[in-house]
Amino acid sequence: MISQTLREARKYEETMEAGINGGRPAFHLSPRVGWMNDPNGFSYCKGAYHLFYQYYPYDSVWGPMHWGHAVSRDLLHWEYLPAALAPDTAYDKDGCFSGSALELPDGRQLLMYTGVVKEPRTDGGFQDIQTQCIAIGDGRDYEKYQQNPVLDGGDLPEGGSRNDFRDPKLWMEEDGTYRCVVGNCTGDKDGRILLYKSEDGIHWDFLSILAENKGRFGRMWECPDFFKLDGKYVLLTSPQDMMPRGFEYHNGNGTICLMGDYDEKTNTFIEEHNQAVDYGIDFYAPQTIAAPDGRRIMIGWMQNWDTCNLRDTERFWFGQMTLPRELSIENGRLIQKPVRELESLRGEEVRYENVVFTDTIRLDGIRGRKMDMEIMLRPADPENIFHKFAVRFAQDETYHTSVSFRPLESVVKVDRKFSGSRRAIIHLWSCHFGGEQKTV
């Protein structure tokens, strides 16, 4: 049964979509209409990739969360399906927050998400109460489980906040049982990741506190993901309110990768290494999928909570996803590469070799709004290395966006100060080339 709220949202998006003429990114998924944040339910079902997203169709700002829905066969061309979830029940009336999906052995698709209810506080304000809920469907229409929520405040370990208990990411173990990780924090907002277990994907039991922040990386840990990759265990999470640390971690909401081992006796993560997941300006709340061919593929929200209020009010949509990336571990570090499907989009090749330059150059044929560019750079004189190399994209007299590299300091900078913004928001982020100080 489709609720009135969901029916209205579906009707609205179908009608409004027609009014969005062009101006959409060519292969980054954007919302059908209105607002998009986190990727949700990234999964493979009946031969297609499914990607849901945090969605408010009625405006291009964040509002009561729905789940938008799109499918793709190649992770680059997406087809919209009708909105999958709307905040239409007593336990999720204030939002269907982030969550995940998987295909059940009988072919149905299971969605697990956070239901939000605003509860009045004694001081006159409101507080979010967050619980985990289930919906099951055929890849297009989903029915919320009668006994929702499946996890609530009673399933929290001691000291766990009921206000920050969200973003379940579930998977099936080799023995056919299910696990999920959920973001949580203690009363003083220190992030931690909880691990739950289920026999059928529907009835869940608390297993352990998988990992704890202990005051190191920001505060509440949102949108966790946990998987095995190249012989290691990887825990991804997006901490809110981070403090900067060198060039590795920037202020604000970031995404970290914790790498290590897993203790099967205590069901806890043994942390060995940490690193930032993205050094660019816009990246948050990624989610991964184990693709049928074994690749671990990640997609993230190509935005940042600190800058997302800046938008073009003429447009009826806001927010987009990153390109999907293939993950691997090399020399103990998380490595990301654009999905190989991208190669099929390449058109005419323009190639230059042995171009020697000392000043600004423009190369004929390298132009246009979409391109895939690879640059191999070598100092002409290894004894006297150049100080700075930069590529300026979309340049005219007024605008450009630059990516620069200073080999002597091993610093890469992304600068969009001249990209057309009238606001003093974050425009520049730097990182060490390769994630750590290196010499060229």
Binding mask 325-344 for ligand FRU (x = CB under 6 A): --------------------
Q: Which of 27, 33, 37, 185 binds ligand FRU (CB under 6 A)?
A: 37
Q: Which of 245, 103, 235, 106 is nearest to 171 (CA)?
A: 103
Say how many CA atoms lie within 13 Å of 76 toward its Cβ: 12
Residue 115 host element (H or E): strand 109-120
Q: Across the strands, what pairs with 81?
A: 69
- Do 247 and 430 contact (CB within 8 A), yes or no? yes
Q: Which of 55, 67, 97, 227 binds ligand FRU (CB under 6 A)?
A: 97
Binding mask 69-88 for ligand FRU (x = CB under 6 A): --------------------
Least distance to ligand FRU, CB of residue 380, Å = 46
Compute CA 354 distance to the chain's CA centroid, rounded to the nearest angstrom. Answer: 38
Least distance to ligand FRU, CB of residue 166, Å = 5
Give the number of residues in contact with ligand FRU, rule: CB under 6 A: 13
Q: Which of 13, 38, 212, 341 binds ligand FRU (CB under 6 A)?
A: 38
How far are the Cα atoms of 280, 298, 300 from residue 284, in angstroms, in the given order? Answer: 10, 11, 6
Q: Which of 88, 128, 190, 222 binds ligand FRU (CB under 6 A)?
A: 222
**Does 190 contact ligand FRU by CB under 6 A?**
no
Least distance to ligand FRU, CB of residue 39, Å = 10
Q: Which is nearer to ligand FRU, 33 or 412 (CB)?
A: 33
The footprint of ligand FRU on residues 193-212 (CB under 6 A) is none
Q: Which of 13, 34, 39, 54 binds ligand FRU (CB under 6 A)?
A: 54
Q: Which is nearer to ligand FRU, 189 or 333 (CB)?
A: 189
Q: Which is nearer to ligand FRU, 55 or 405 (CB)?
A: 55
User: Which residue in 38, 167, 225, 278 is the catalytic one?
Assistant: 38
**Does 92 contact ligand FRU by CB under 6 A?**
no
Residue 7, C-beta contacts closer than 8 angstroms, at least 6 positions apart: none
The footprint of ligand FRU on residues 160-179 (CB under 6 A) is 166-167
Q: How far apart are CA 440 and CA 438, in angstroms?
A: 7
Q: Which of 111, 223, 259, 281 binds ligand FRU (CB under 6 A)?
A: 223
Q: What order do you get walking across the sheet with 401-406 strand by strand?
A: 389-393, 401-406, 411-415, 428-432
| Count of beta carbons in the 10 Å neighbourhood of residue 270 | 12
Q: Is 196 exposed, middle or buried (0-12, 13-18, 19+ CB in 10 A)?
A: buried
Least distance to ligand FRU, CB of residue 353, Å = 44
Least distance to ligand FRU, CB of residue 304, Å = 10
How far are the Cα atoms of 30, 38, 223, 322 from residue 300, in angstroms, in the given order? Answer: 12, 7, 11, 5
Residue 11 host element (H or E): helix 4-17
Least distance to ligand FRU, CB of residue 393, Å = 27
**Does 285 contact ligand FRU by CB under 6 A?**
yes
Q: How far apart are CA 89 and CA 117, in angstroms?
A: 10
Q: Which is nearer to ligand FRU, 68 or 324 (CB)?
A: 68
Active site residue 38: yes
**Does 100 contact ligand FRU by CB under 6 A?**
no
Q: Which of 155, 147, 158 is nearest to 130 (CA)?
A: 155
Least distance to ligand FRU, CB of residue 132, Å = 11
Q: How far apart are CA 108 and CA 261, in angstroms?
A: 32
Compute CA 176 distance to the chain's CA centroid, rounded to the nearest angstrom. Answer: 27
**Which stretches of the chain bind ligand FRU, using CB under 6 A?**
37-38, 54, 65, 97-98, 114, 166-167, 222-223, 284-285
- Catalytic residue set: 38
